[in-house]
A = this chain, B = another copy of it.
Amino acid sequence: MFKKRENIAEIEEGKYLSPKFDENDLIPVITTDFKNGGILMHGYMNKEALKKTIETREAHYWSRSRKSIWRKGEKSGFVQKVKEIRIDDDQDSVWLAVDIGEGASCHVGYRSCFYRSIPLGNIENSEKIEMEFKETEKTFDPKKVYKDEPNPTKL
């Protein structure tokens, strides 16, 4: 169903979907809140996750930590209803605009995964760089929602 990548002008200027999956068969995905445009998370899809997302209108990703297809919300209940999917010029990254209602997208408990801001300016002589929290209250308690699920974050 995805057109073979044969011609650069067609990939960039054409109307047919020809996604490029990387050496791990994944394509990166940006997910935003369709209501306010805020970035919720950055993830990855394989071919099957992209197909399921297009067909079911619910976001599916590839979990690199669990090495499996991951229907977002299957454990937490925080399903992402897809309002729009876009792809970029060279068709190697995807943007999902989703509806999460009053829910959250970050397994740590915040609404967005991007809850910390990096200060700008000279860091040459900094031993550590201290960030600022932009979300200070969690939307949910991850201990209650995920119970004994292993944490997907890896060192």
Contacts and interface: CB of A to CB of B under 8 A. Distances in A.
Contacts of A36: 37
Given A128-B16, A128-B17, A89 B117 contact: no
A116 interface: yes
Nearest to A39: B95
Contact of A86 (B55, B118, B127, B153): B118
A13 B108 contact: yes
A141 interface: no
B85 A113 contact: no
Contacts of A90: 152-154
Q: Is the interface on chain A under 10, 10 to 19, 20 to 34, or 35 or more residues? A: 35 or more
Given A123-B54, A153-B11, A108 B89 contact: yes
Contact of A1 (B17, B110, B124, B153): B124
A51 B126 CA distance: 11
Interface of A: 1-3, 5-6, 8, 11-13, 15-17, 28, 30, 32, 36-39, 41-42, 51, 54-55, 57, 82, 84-90, 93, 95, 106-108, 110, 113-124, 126-134, 151-155
